[in-house]
Structure formats: structure tokens, C-alpha cells
């Protein structure tokens, strides 16, 4: 059970992974057809039998039981081996030759998991985008509301509620941009048994034709075309994993700050719909913050598993390291899906108690601006004299009265000097900068597709056509490098 992901992780369910595996098998047949190798009748028949729904879409309706494939996967170490026989059973005997032709199980499984990750990370991006919009609105509305900043848990200097929200916004925005970049680069996998594409060259008649099959396969999946097989070069997994961890880091900071500020004795913030307690009916727990924090605390270890597996991906095919990636990546996606969904709801309903913010700020009194006194009065009064005044105020004496009585402070605006609202520095400008920052166009909210799964919020049909054009070889046969892709 993963409470933070409950109701939000359908995009990485076992059934979806199985559908993606079948999709990869169908996409390979269609890629052969695009090169004129497989007969059109075979391509059409297989596509219909497997429930092909279009380039970049995950098939449905093939009828292969998840439990059946899962149980049979133990013998060979992965689900593709038993899946191939079941897929072949769905198509006419004359067309079975084209199922899995030339592929190795890692080609199909890597491509399927990348396809699942591509769609799931699109949903995460949607949650992050909504969270950004809500944080921007909070930062704008609370731009100049003065609050106590805390360092090492203690009151430090004045800040604003708006700047705190803008700081959260910057973290989420950066994570959003990094995840977009990692998602856009996710490639299909096609290399054959040893990553040489030899089997495909044999089927198609030349190594050059085998290389042409790769972007054709990627286009059918709606993924980037790799420069080469990446069976043991696992950057697609680690870069995506790192971006997901960064997103959960940013959401974790937000959730931790909200949880702290919603403590009974602080009460500056409150979730719009707090959770209850089984034993204490008076409580309104920051349930969303707690769930988000649980995901953020688990994410780094899952990211570390992906890196450990990448470092151990030896020879031309990994012996166990590859297998360790599957559950770690899916669980990381599951956490990100849940945390991003909770975060958008948390920030949209977040309540600020202005009286509590002011009360908390007042707990430190004029000492909240002691830094200002050192900077502003140090040259005139001397550093030691200022420190003495502050120490006296810390023992309970009236700091304003002490300053007025000091000869060197004659003529100073003591009231203004001690006003926290006049010592927030560039806080307002930093909020404005965060709100005006340029950022790329973002995904829209997804809608469920015909079978109730969340549709991909980023890659529409037009985008897939553009992707195919970008990743396909040019007239000279040159494929764009990753840095040349959009």
C-alpha cells in the first residue's frame, strides 16, 4: 500500500504495463510495414488483433491476462518471453512470423516501460503545473504580508508570506522544467540480442536498413529515436529518475513548511481539507502535507537504486541490474503521481491566518530587526554598543527607549528603524521576478480515454507528427543528436 498514490497511480498499474508491452510488439510490426518489409495485410491484421489505437497510444482490448503473464515471467526472468507466445496466439498463423521478429526481450520491455513512464510523467507535469499556478496566485496575493523568517528553526529576520510562496514556486518550476526535458528525451529501445541490430539487418537486407527501422519503431511509439541501443547505457532511466526525485524534493519542502506552519502553536497556515484523527476528534491533521512528505522521503533511495543498477549494467545485457530498475522506476513514478496530485490540491486550498502570522512575528518583538541595527547603527554607535543594546533588549528592556536614550541615535526615526515591514529588503521584487519569469508552454489537464485511463496530457497527434519529423533521418541519412532535438 502506498497511501500517497492511492487513486492516482493507474498510469503505472500492472495492466497498463502489459498493454504497453503489447503495444511495443505491435509497433515493431508496424515499423517493418513502414519500411515496406512486412505485408500491409499482415500489418493491418496484427494491428487489429492487438487493438492498435494509433501512434503513441497504448493498446487495449487484447485480452491477455496480467496474472498469466506475471506468473510465467519467473521462468525466463522477464514477462516478454511468455508474452510473445500469447501475442502470436492472437494473430493469424500466417502473420506470426512478424511478431517480435529480430527483437530481444529487453527491446520490448525497455520500450514499454519508457512508454509508460512518458505518459505517467506527463500526468506528473500536469500536477506540477497546477501547483505552480496556485503558488503564483498565493505569492501575488501575499506579496507584502510580513512574516518571521526562520533559520535553524529560530526567528531570523522579517520576510513575507509572498516570498515564501515564491520560493516554493521557484523550486517546483525548476523541477517541472527538468522533468519536461527528461521526458522529451525518452527514447525507444531497439538493438537485438547484443545491441548490434544484426537480426534486423538480416531481415531487412542491410545494416543501413536496420538503422532505419529504429526511428520508424520510435515514431510508432511516439518516443524519441535513440542514437544507438542503450541496453547497458541507462541514462534514460537515471535522468528521468533524477528529475522525478527533484520534483519530489521541491514538493517535500513545500509540504514540510506547511506542516510546520500548521502546528497548533503556530497556526499560520492550514490545509483546506485537513485530515481527522481516529482518537482525537478535535484535530485537523495536515494530511496532504504528510503524504507528500512520505513520498519525498522515499524518493532518493529509489533514485539511488536506479543509479546503482545503471552502474552495474555490464556486458551487452545486464544480469540482474536491469531487473532491479523496473519496480524502482514504477514506484518512483507512483510516488510522483500521488505527490503532485496532492500538492495541487494542497496549494489550491491553502489558508493563511493573517492574525497568526502577525502574532508569530510579534513574538520576537523588535529583535527581529537586530541585523538591521547592526548594519545601520554599527558605524555610528559602534559594534559593541549595538550588541549591548540588543542584549539588554533580550533581557526584557525596551529597545526603543534604549535607542532614544543613546546620544548617537539622536534624530533617528526609531519607530521606522524597528518596523519589520521596513526591513524586508528585495522581498517584493523577488516575488515580482518569480511571477514574471518566462517558462515554456505547459501541458493541459488530462482527460480519461475511452477505457478510463488518463490520456497523455502533453503529446497530441500533431506533436507526434512533429516528433517523427524531428527524429527521422534527413536526406543524407543523418539523425539529429539529442542536443538538436526540441
Q: Quote the cell numbers at residue 275.
A: 485530515
Query: Catalytic annotation on 317?
Result: yes
> Does the CA dihedral 294-297-300-306 come out positive or negative?
negative
What does the DSSP assignment read for 52-73?
--STTPPP------HHHHHHHH
Of 86, 150, 209, 317, the active-site residue reads 317
Q: Which residues contact 152 (CB under 8 A, 6 or more apart)?
A: none
**Structural element, H or E, at residue 260:** helix 235-261
Say if CB 461 and CB 206 are below 8 A apart.
no
CA 162 – CA 167 distance, rounded (Å): 9
Query: Catalytic annotation on 173?
Result: no
Cα angle at 85 between 80 and 91, to 5 degrees?
A: 120
Q: Quote the cell numbers at residue 95.
A: 502473420
CA atoms within 13 A on the CB side of 193: 6
Q: Quote the cell numbers at residue 377.
A: 547603527
State the alpha helices, DSSP H only, in 408-449. Answer: 414-417, 427-436
CA 365 – CA 108 distance, rounded (Å): 65
CA 207 – CA 290 distance, rounded (Å): 54
Cell 516501460 belongs to 113
3-state DSSP: the chain helix, strand, coil percent, rounded to 5? 65, 5, 30
Q: Which of 139, 137, 157, 138 lies closest to 147, judged by CA? A: 157
**Structural element, H or E, at residue 158:** strand 154-160
By CB atoms closer than 10 A (0-12, 13-18, 19+), residue 291 is: buried
Q: In angstroms, what CA-CA distances link 375 with 101, 155, 160, 367, 421? A: 75, 18, 21, 14, 17
Of 41, 277, 351, 482, the active-site residue reads 277
Q: How many CB atoms lie within 10 A of CB 49?
A: 17
Within the chain, what is the greatest distance between any pair of CA atoms? 102
Residues assigned a catalytic role: 277, 317
Amino acid at each position: 500500500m502506498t497511501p500517497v498514490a492511492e487513486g492516482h497511480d493507474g498510469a503505472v498499474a500492472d495492466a497498463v504495463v502489459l498493454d504497453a508491452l503489447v503495444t511495443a510488439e505491435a509497433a515493431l510490426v508496424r515499423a517493418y510495414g513502414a519500411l515496406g518489409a512486412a505485408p500491409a495485410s499482415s500489418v493491418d491484421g496484427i494491428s487489429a488483433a492487438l487493438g492498435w489505437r494509433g501512434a503513441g497510444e497504448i493498446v487495449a482490448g487484447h485480452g491477455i491476462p496480467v496474472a498469466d503473464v506475471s506468473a510465467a515471467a519467473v521462468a525466463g526472468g522477464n514477462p516478454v518471453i511468455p508474452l510473445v507466445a500469447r501475442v502470436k496466439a492472437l494473430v493469424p498463423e500466417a502473420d506470426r512470423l512478424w511478431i517480435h521478429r529480430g527483437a530481444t526481450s529487453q527491446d520490448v520491455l525497455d520500450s514499454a516501460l519508457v512508454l509508460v513512464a512518458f505518459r505517467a510523467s506527463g500526468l506528473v507535469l500536469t500536477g506540477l503545473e497546477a501547483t505552480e499556478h496556485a503558488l503564483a496566485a498565493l505569492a501575488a496575493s501575499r506579496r507584502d504580508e510580513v512574516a518571521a523568517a526562520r533559520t535553524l528553526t529560530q526567528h531570523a529576520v522579517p520576510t513575507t508570506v509572498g516570498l515564501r510562496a515564491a520560493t516554493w514556486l521557484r523550486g517546483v518550476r525548476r523541477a517541472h522544467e527538468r522533468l519536461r526535458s527528461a521526458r522529451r528525451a525518452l527514447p525507444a529501445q531497439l538493438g537485438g540480442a547484443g545491441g548490434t541490430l544484426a537480426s534486423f539487418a538480416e531481415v531487412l537486407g542491410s545494416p543501413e536498413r536496420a538503422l532505419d527501422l529504429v526511428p520508424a519503431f520510435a515514431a510508432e511509439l511516439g518516443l524519441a529515436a535513440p542514437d544507438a541501443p542503450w541496453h547497458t547505457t541507462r541514462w534514460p532511466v537515471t535522468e528521468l529518475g533524477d528529475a522525478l526525485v527533484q520534483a519530489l524534493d521541491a514538493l517535500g519542502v513545500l509540504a514540510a513548511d506547511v506542516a510546520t506552519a500548521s502546528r497548533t502553536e503556530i497556526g499560520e497556515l492550514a490545509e483546506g481539507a485537513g485530515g481527522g484523527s481516529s482518537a482525537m476528534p478535535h484535530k485537523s491533521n495536515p494530511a496532504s502535507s504528510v503524504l507528500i512528505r512520505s513520498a519525498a522521503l522515499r524518493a532518493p533511495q529509489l533514485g539511488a537504486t536506479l543509479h546503482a543498477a545503471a552502474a552495474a549494467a555490464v556486458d551487452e545485457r545486464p544480469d540482474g541490474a536491469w531487473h532491479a530498475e523496473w519496480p524502482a522506476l514504477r514506484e518512483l513514478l507512483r510516488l510522483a503521481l500521488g505527490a503532485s496530485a496532492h500538492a495541487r490540491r494542497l496549494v489550491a486550498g491553502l489558508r493563511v491566518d493573517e492574525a497568526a502570522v502577525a502574532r508569530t512575528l510579534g513574538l520576537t518583538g523588535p529583535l527581529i530587526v537586530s541585523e538591521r541595527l547592526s548594519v545601520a547603527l554599527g558605524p555610528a554607535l559602534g559594534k559593541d554598543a549595538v550588541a549591548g543594546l540588543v542584549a539588554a533588549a533580550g533581557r526584557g528592556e525596551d529597545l526603543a527607549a534604549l535607542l532614544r536614550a543613546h546620544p548617537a541615535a539622536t534624530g533617528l526615526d526609531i519607530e521606522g528603524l524597528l518596523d519589520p515591514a521596513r526591513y524586508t529588503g528585495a522581498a517584493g521584487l523577488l516575488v515580482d521576478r518569480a511571477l514574471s519569469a518566462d517558462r515554456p508552454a505547459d501541458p493541459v489537464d488530462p482527460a480519461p480515454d475511452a477505457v478510463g485511463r488518463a490520456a497523455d496530457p502533453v503529446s497530441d497527434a500533431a506533436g507526434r507528427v512533429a516528433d517523427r519529423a524531428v527524429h527521422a533521418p534527413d536526406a543524407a541519412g543523418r539523425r539529429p543528436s539529442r542536443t538538436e532535438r526540441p
